[in-house]
Amino acid sequence: MSRAGSKPFPVKKIILLIGTCIGPLMLFAQQSLPANPFTDSTRFIELREVHLQARTASPQQRLVNFYRGNASFTLEDIMARLPEVSFQRRGPYGMEPSIRGYTGGQINVLIDGMRIYGACTDKMDPPTIYIEPLNLDHVQVQTGQNGFLHGSSIGGSVLLKMAEPKHDEEGNLHASVSSGYSSASKGWYESARLHFGTGRWSFLANGTYRKNQDYRAGGGETIPFSAMEKANYGFSAKYRLNENLSVKADFLGDDGWNIGYPALPMDVGYAAARIGSLSIQSEKPKQGWTNWNAKLYANRVQHYMDDTHRPNVPMHMDMPGLSKTYGAFAEGMRQTGQRHSLRLRADVSSTFLTASMTMYPPNEVPMFMLTWPDHRKMQSGLGAAWTFDADSNWRFQANARVDFITHRLTSTDGKEEVAVLGYDTDGRNDLLSNLSLSATRKLLARSAVFMNIAYAERIPTGSELYGFYLFNAQDGYDYIGKADLLRESSFQAETGIKGIVGNVQRVRVSYQLTGFASYLDNYITGIVEPDLSAMTIGANGVKSYQNLPWALQAGGEASLSGALHKQWQAVVTIRYTYARDDQGDPLPFIPPLKSMLSLRYQPGRFSAQAEWEAASRQERYAIRAGEDETPGFMLLHLRCGYSFPVSTSRIGLQAGVENVFDTFYHEHLDWGNIPRQGRNVYIQLNLSF
C-alpha cells in the first residue's frame, strides 16, 4: 500500500554521524538539567501544594523525581513505580500504560498537551515510547476528578511534559553525554544533550540511542524476539519576545528498528514518529491570565509490523499502519481575587488512521485488507476547572469538559468493509460531557482530607469502532469493531487524606492515602461472535467489541515517603484494584496487590539505594480475555551512584543490580506470561559540563 509508504529515512546513519562529530565536544560536561536527583533529592511538598488538589502533581512528582535518578531507567520504569500506574506488556519495549486498570481508549496520553495516536493495530506504539527520561521535564498522572480536563476520558490522563530550553542571557553552553550497558539484554544506551542560550534565543538538542539484544529471564532462559533498537532525537528553539512571553518550536523524532514483541506473533520492522509543534507561552505568572500557552502541532506515526524473523509463519504478511494528527490548543489559568481561580483548556484535533494487511500465499494473488478502515476523527473540546477557597479550611472545585467528536470513513474500501459487518458507513457524531465536584478540608496544620465525585464519558477507539479482524494474541481471537458502540461512561468517587507530618529539618514524612470506586456503564469489551469465522490462521474465533451493561472497579493506593537527616530517604507505595463485570467475573488486566519500598542513603557524593518490589498472586483473572493466575513475586534491586566534579565539569557513575536474586517472574498484565528480565547488572557513565 503506497499510502503508508514513504521510504524509511536513514536516520540511524545520520545520528551515528552526528554522534561521532559532536560526541568529543561534550566530553567535559556538566549535568545542567533537571536534576541530578542525588543533589536535589529532598523535594518535599509544601503546604500550598497539599492544599491545592487541582495541582495534584506534588506527591507523585516527588516519586518521579526520586526514581528518575536512575539514569538507566526508561520512562516506563519510572512510571511503573507510581502507585496509580501499571503497564500492559507485550514485549520489553512499547508497554502500554494503565491507570488503576484503565488503559487504551479509557485514558489520555498527551505529550506537551498534544494528542498522538499509535499507528499500530496491536498497540505496540503507545505515545509514551517517544519520551526518554532525557527529554522529559515531568510526568503527571491525573486520576479521579482531574482525569478528563485534557480530554474526555473515564480513566485519567498521563501528561508528559518535554524538557524545554531555559532562558540564559550569558551565552552558556551546557552539554552532557551518557553511556551505559545492561547485562541482561547486552544492551547499550547512549545519549547526548546540548543546551545553549544567548540573548533572546535558547536552544536544546538531545538524542538517545538504545540497542538491546534478546534478554535473559530469571534462571537463564533467553527470551527470543525481545531485542530492540531505537533512536530518539529532539530539538527545540525558544525565542523570548519579552519578559512574559516566548515562542517555541519543537521537533521530536523517534525511529525504531527490529523491535521484538515476544508475546505477539509479529515484531516491528520499522517504526517512525515525527512530532512537531509551534507554541507561544507566558513565562511568568502575573495578573490576569497566567501560565497560559497556545500550541499548533502536527504528528505522523508510521508503523511496519514484520514476521520475517519468526519461524513457522504459515504465511508471510505485511501490516503497515499510519496515523496523522494535527491540532491546536490553548490553555491558561486565571486568578480572580483571593478565592477563585479558573483554569481553561480549549482544543481541537483531527486524526487520520489507516492500517492494512497484505498476505502472500504461495502461487496465489496477495490478499489485502484494511485492518483499520481509513477514517478521520475530529475532536473539539473545552475543559474548565474552577476552584473556590471558601475559607481557610475548605476548598471546593468543579471540573467540566465537553467534547464534540466526529468519525468519518474516508475510503470506499473502508466503507465497504464496515458495510460487510452490517453497519452504517456515514460515520458518527458524539457529544461527550464530563463533570466532577470535589471538596477538600484542611486538617491539623499540614494535612487535608478530600472527597470527589465525577461523571465521565469516553469515545470508543478506532479499533473498537472499525477494527477489522485484529488478532489478539492474549485470548487468541480476531476482533472486529462495532461502528455503533455506545459510549463508555463512569460514575466515580474518590476520597483520601494526605499531608506531611514531622519536623521540617530532621525527620519528615509525607503521606497520601486514597480510595476510589467507579461504576462503569456500557463497559466495552470483546464478546465472542460464534457465527463468524476467524481470519487469522489458528485463531480461536471472532470477538466483536460490545457494551456490557455495567462493570465495577474499586481500589486504593497509599504512599509514604520520609527523610531522615537529609541522608536517608525512604519511599513506600502500595496499591490494590478490584474489578468485576455485570456477571461477577473479574475484568482483565487488573494488577494485583503490589507494594514497593525504596531506601536511599546519600551521605554526599556517593549514594546507595535498595528497592524491594512485591506483588501478590492475582487470583482474580479474566478467563474470557485469555488470562490465567499469576503467581506473586518479590524482587530486590540495588543501585549506587557516585558523582564528582573535575574542574568545571562533573562526572557521574551509576551502577546497580536489578532482580538481584534472578527471580523468574512475570506481572499479571504481561501478555503471554513472558518472563521478565532476570538479574541485570548495569553501569552508566555520565559526563557533563
Partner 1 sequence: MKLFSKLYLPIILSAAFFLNACTKDEAVTVDPTAQLIKLTEGYATGAATKVLVYTESSVINTGYTRFYLQLKDSASGADVTQAQVMLMPMMDMGTMKHSAPVENPVSEKATDGLFQAASVFIMSSMGGSWTMTFTVRRPESGKRGSLAIPVTVTDPAKATVKSFTAADDGQKYFIALIEPAQPRIGINDFEIGVYRKATMMSFPADSALNFTIEPEMPTMGHGSPNNVNPTHAQLGHFKGKVNFTMTGFWRVHLDALHGTAVADTTQYFDIEF
Judged by the rule CB under 8 A, the positions of this chain that interact with partner 1 are 315, 357, 359, 361, 364-370, 412-413, 415-417, 419-422, 468-469, 531-535, 537
For 51, list phi and psi in degrees, rounded to 5: -70, -40
Sheet hosting strand 85-88, strand order edge to edge: 85-88, 96-99, 102-103
Closest approach, Cβ 428 to partner 1, in A, equals: 19
Closest approach, Cβ 672 to partner 1, in A, equals: 23
Which among 252, 237, 212 has a CA at the least distance from the CA of 92?
212
Q: Which is nearer to partner 1, 419 or 453 (CB)?
A: 419
Q: Which residues contact 651 (CB under 8 A, 6 or more apart)?
A: 643, 644, 645, 685, 686, 687
Cell triple for residue 76?
A: 516506563
Q: Which is nearer to partner 1, 475 or 521 (CB)?
A: 475
Closest approach, Cβ 7 to partner 1, in A, equals: 18
Q: Which is nearer to partner 1, 138 or 376 (CB)?
A: 376
Q: Which is nearer to partner 1, 371 or 561 (CB)?
A: 371
Calculate the alpha carbon distances from 70 to 471, 494, 517, 608, 637 in Å: 37, 32, 34, 11, 11
Closest approach, Cβ 319 to partner 1, in A, equals: 13
Sheet hosting strand 136-142, strand order edge to edge: 114-115, 108-111, 157-162, 136-142
Q: What is the CA radius of gyration of the chain?
A: 25
Q: Which is nearer to partner 1, 421 or 528 (CB)?
A: 421
Q: Which is nearer to partner 1, 398 or 532 (CB)?
A: 532
Q: Which residues contact 584 (CB under 8 A, 6 or more apart)?
A: none
Q: What is the DSSP string of 136-166?
A: EEEEEEE-GGGTTTTS--SS-EEEEEE--PP
Closest approach, Cβ 366 to partner 1, in A, equals: 7
Residue matched to cell numbers 562533573: 650
On whether the CB atoms of residues 556 and 489 are closer than 8 A, the answer is no
Q: Which is nearer to partner 1, 252 or 357 (CB)?
A: 357
Closest approach, Cβ 475 to partner 1, in A, equals: 17
Q: Which is nearer to partner 1, 532 or 640 (CB)?
A: 532
Closest approach, Cβ 302 to partner 1, in A, equals: 17
Which among 121, 106, 85 has a CA at the least distance from the CA of 156?
106
Beta strand pairing status for 447-458 and 428-443?
A: antiparallel
Closest approach, Cβ 357 to partner 1, in A, equals: 8
Closest approach, Cβ 362 to partner 1, in A, equals: 9
Closest approach, Cβ 355 to partner 1, in A, equals: 13
Q: Which is nearer to partner 1, 14 or 315 (CB)?
A: 315
3-state DSSP assignment of residue 265 = coil
Q: Which is nearer to partner 1, 368 or 394 (CB)?
A: 368
3-state DSSP assignment of residue 539 = coil
**The 3-state secondary structure of 436-484, one letter per residue:** EEEEEEEECCCEEEEEEEEEEEECCCHHHHHCCCEEECCCCEEEECCCC
Which among 234, 248, 232, 110 has a CA at the least distance from the CA of 166?
248
Q: Which is nearer to partner 1, 283 or 413 (CB)?
A: 413
Closest approach, Cβ 532 to partner 1, in A, equals: 5
Q: How many alpha carbons fall within 13 Å on the CB side of residue 535?
A: 19
Which among 365, 347, 449, 443 has a CA at the least distance from the CA of 403?
347
